[in-house]
Amino acid sequence: MGDDGFSLDLRDAETALDRVPSEYQGSVVLGVLDGTTPADEWLDEVFAGKVLVLAIEGDLQELAAGFASDVKQADGSLMRFREFLLVAPPDVSLDTSRL
């Protein structure tokens, strides 16, 4: 690259990148928070490492009462974004820096 002394060889860069382990089982679950799904089912999903994106249909406080405190006590995250509730397990952070 000329005389500036800078050269960059990207041929082997991919081998140096961190990769997600093949045993990672995380995923995103889309659902509706309307009171028809038992709180234990939502908790099972979150504690299995899944992120929930739930469309809120009703009173959020009432609908999330059965699982919100358990998620918070386990250091998980809950956040309302527009008409959705996002619920993340303890090892997943919700980045709100672009809001």
Q: How many separate domains does the chain show? A: 1
| pLDDT surpasses 80 at 69 | yes
Residue 95 in domain: no
Measuring CA to CA, which residue among 84, 25, 85 is closest to residue 50?
25
Q: How confident is the model at residue 51 (pLDDT cuts 50, 70, 90)?
A: very high
Residue 19 in domain: no
Number of CB atoms found within 10 A of residue 55's CB:
13
Q: What local confidence, expressed as pLDDT, does residue 43 receive?
A: 96
Residue 3 in domain: no
Write out the residue range of the structural domain in which residue 30 sits: 25-88
For the chain, the 3-state helix, strand and coil shares in percent, each to the nearest 5, are 25, 20, 55
CATH number, domain of 76, equals 3.30.110.150
Per cent of the chain over pLDDT 90 is 65
Q: What local confidence, expressed as pLDDT, does residue 99 receive?
A: 87
Cα 9 from chain centroid (whole Å): 34
Residue 1 in domain: no
